[in-house]
Structure formats: C-alpha cells, structure tokens
Structure 1
Amino acid sequence: MKVSLLPGWGLGLAPLQPLADYLSNKHEVQLLPLPECTTAEQALDELDAQIPADSWLIGWSLGGMLATALAHRRGNSCPGLVTLASNACFVARNDWPHAMPQREFNNFSRRAARDWSGTLKGFQQLCLHGGQIEAVPAELSATASTDTESRLASLSWLAQLDNRTAIAELQCRQLHVLAEADALVLVGVTHDLQLLNPQAQVCSWPGSHAFVLTDHRELAAAVHAFMTGGAVNG
C-alpha cells in the first residue's frame, strides 16, 4: 500500500525517519516536509498536489491534523487515515476543553517569534516529557530547514485547524493514537474523539509526545496491522 507520512511542527523530518524506514518494509512510503506557505488551506493545496490519491495519510501532531483535513477533502478516494499524538483542535475551544489553553498557545507563539532557538529547546523537552528518555535524541535535535517566517506561519495552523467535522464525517478507516503521558496533546481527549465518530478507532499508547520516535518499531507494526484490517490494542 502507499503511505504518505507528515511530520509535526518545527522539528523537520528526522523524528519520523525511523518510523518511515520500518513502514517501508511493508509499504511504499513517502515522507513529506510541511509546506512552506502562509495558511493551512494553502498547505493542504500543496499536499493534495503532491500525495497520490490512493495513499494512506499518516501524520504526527500538526502533520496528523493536516492529514485529517486532507482526508476529509478527498472523501471516498482516501483509503485510510492514521493520526499520532494529534488532536481535533490543538487549541482549546469552549466546547473542546481537552486541548492547549489559548493563553498558553499565545505565550508560546510570542516566545517563538522572539527567541526561536530557546523556544525550540523547550519544545524538544516538552515532546519528551513523561517518557523514558531524558536526553534529547539526535532526531529531535534536527530542525526543519525553513525560515522563521515559515515556521511561525505553520505554528499558526495549529490554532486555525478544527477537524471535528472532518473526523465525524470521514467514511474511510481511521485510527487516532494518543500518548498517555503527552504534555502537548492530552490523552484525556480520547473519549471526545471517539464520540465524534464511533466507527473510528481511538487508543492510547505508553510514552510521551515523541513516542513516534522512541517506540517506532512497535508503532510501525501496529500501524501496519491496522492498515491490513486489524485493530490496535490500547
């Protein structure tokens, strides 16, 4: 099967490379960078042009939100969706509380604009918070080769995207995996995600937001099992 894999914000492709390598043992894998554009809609236009219509869409964090929006745009032509540590809304709404508070997100955005290097180091630690690894792996130390303007633009997509309708209306098979100790996407949203679409599989996984890197072998096996008709325990 064809698989298109989308990364999270700010860290480039390196954190997903080990997962992509393991998935490529069973599938035709395309690992794509986040588009360098202003709006989430423009990013979706670029991804829609780059990704084959018959490709499974898999994304980590922001990449999972873009994958969800693209799956919804494609409708019945999308064979399946897998999101990893990804919320329907990254920033909390009045009717979606299990997400990052707006004030906290605004403060983070201001820090990123003022001190990219320092903000990135703190973000790397947040990705690892709650997991078994304390030292930052080399894959998390690599950053996307984009300018500051592009990084800040893609950060704003986290506030813009609201995938609740997309998840509710998707007809393809969908799996949403949340990390139990995630400091960025709260595992408490599991029940709310399941209510959006009872046909979707929503499960939890041990570890931090960076479980896509630290547990990539087992995760690749679980994703493959789901893609070939199985379920993921969790």
Structure 2
Amino acid sequence: MRPSLILLPGWGLGNAPLQPLAAALADQAQVAIEPLPAFEHADSERWLDALDERLPRGVWLGGWSLGGMLATLLAARRGADCPGLLTVASNARFTASEAWPAAMPAATFEAFREAYTLNPATTLKRFAMLCSQGAVDFRGLSRRLLEQADGSDSLAGLDLLAALDTREALQQFSGPQLHLFAADDALVPAAAAVAIRALQSVADVRQIEGASHALVIEQVGEVSAAIARFMEAQP
C-alpha cells in the first residue's frame, strides 16, 4: 500500500506551488496538501495544535519553506506516529541569530515586514520575485506564483515565519528525514544546508543546483525523484 504524505505550503502563496509536486508524487504516495491555519496571531503552539487536530496520524509530513518548518515541529511532537519528514527550502530559522547565522539577516526581514504592513500587495509581488530569483525563467515563474496566490498571506504568518526555531525538533525527531535545498535560493542561503547537516548528522540533506526558492515548481522533476527514492528506501 502506498504511504500517505501531507504537504504544508509556504507563506503567502497558498497551496498552488505544491500542486505540481503532489501530482508528480501521485504514483509513489497518497498525497494531500493541507492549507495553513488562518490565524491572526503567531502563537506557534496554537498553529501546531490546529494542524495536529486536522491531520491524520501515521502519515509522512512534509512542506515547503514555512510549511516545512511546521512539518518539522509537528513531526517532533508526534514522534513514532510520524513515519518520516520531508522539507523543501526550509531553514531551521528563517531569520539569522548569533547561534544560527545561516539565514536571512534580521534587519532584512524587518524591512520586508514593515513594507508588508504598508502595502501588502506590492510586497507580495516582491516576495514572489524573491522566490523566483535564481530560476532560469525568473519572470515567468514569479508571474505564475503571483497569479496563483490565493490571498492566504497574513502578517501573523509572516511573524510566525520569523519566530519559529526548529533546531531542537530536527534533533529530537528520530524518524527518516530528507531536507532539500536550492543552491541559488534568495531567501534561504546555501549555508543552511551545511548547518542542518551538522545539526542532524543522520538526516539526508541535499542541495539542488541551479534552483531558486520555488524549486517545488521549477525543479519539480528532480525534487519529486529525490523524495520518491527516499521514501522507497525506507523499511
């Protein structure tokens, strides 16, 4: 029987960016994309409680960017009830700190947050461009992301993205872990892959060359193949 996999989306762009990946994995697993909670606060425990209540037990958990961070925390919470964890372009911390420098500078994030409070639509357009930076068809990918956005962007989600720290969860979860990164990601630096490999030595950490943050779309073939091979290799 095929395993079940739940994918969680990133901030601001809805479920659409994960649809090509879900379709590509359909022969490997029963895949569903779960929307993020629509909260007006950044209380991570309440976000996790909501996801834990909605999602069935015994399923693989995965996600892109913010979704991968939430999947990591939920996998650690569920322990043996989660058979495996998959993340794509997900850092342990989205914003840099002294203890985790392999992330976006805090000042850069704060400037982005301030811009979002002043003009959400313009800032979301900029975000789509940042997600696409490094892609071969940068403008086409950016336009596609923005056209498919479903209005799920929120300040609460942005604040949650800045607040989450999955370092302890990555070390705590003892099940199989695959973490995929993009070499040309403008939002998650390439150094994050090295840092996560050092943090969780038994995890499978890979970097895809010539890919942007939106590798779930532009490199869906390579991403889905890596995930399929990893899932097939598990007992």
2:202 is aligned with 1:227: no
Percent identity between matched residues is: 43
Q: Offset at 1:203?
A: 1.0
The amino acid across from 1:49 in the alignment is E
Alignment partner of 2:156: what SS? helix
Q: Offset at 1:196?
A: 1.1
Structure 1 residue aligned with 2:12: 10
Q: In 2, distance between residues paired with 1:58 and 1:164? A: 16
Which segment drifts farther, 90-99 or 129-138? Answer: 129-138
Structure 1 residue aligned with 2:145: 140
Q: In 2, distance between residues paired with 1:47 and 1:210? A: 23
Q: Offset at 1:217?
A: 2.2
Q: In 1, distance between residues paired with 2:139 and 2:193? A: 28
Q: In 2, distance between residues paired with 1:61 and 1:136? A: 20
Which segment drifts farther, 134-143 or 176-185? Answer: 134-143
Structure 2 residue aligned with 1:195: 198
Alignment partner of 2:138: what SS? coil
2:59 is aligned with 1:55: yes
Gaps of 5+ in 1: none
TM-score, scaled to structure 2: 0.93
Q: 2:28 aligns with which of 2, 26, 36?
A: 26
List aligned pairs for 1:110-129, cutoff 5 A: 110-129=114-133
Alignment partner of 1:136: what SS? helix
Q: In 1, distance between residues paired with 2:108 and 2:140? A: 23
CA separation of 1:229 and 1:202: change in aligned 2, threshold 3 A: same
Q: Offset at 1:139?
A: 4.1
Q: 2:182 aligns with which of 179, 183, 196?
A: 179
Preserved contact between residue 89 and residue 162 of structure 1 (Cα < 8 Å)? yes
Q: 1:166 aligns with which of 159, 169, 173?
A: 169
Preserved contact between residue 14 and residue 139 of structure 1 (Cα < 8 Å)? no
Structure 2 residue aligned with 1:95: 99
What is the count of residue pairs matched by the alignment? 227
Q: Deviations over 1:166-214 (max 9, x none)?
A: 1112100001111000000001122211111111111101210011111
Q: In 2, distance between residues paired with 1:49 and 1:30? A: 16
Q: Offset at 1:160?
A: 1.2
Gaps of 5+ in 2: none
Q: Offset at 1:25?
A: 2.3
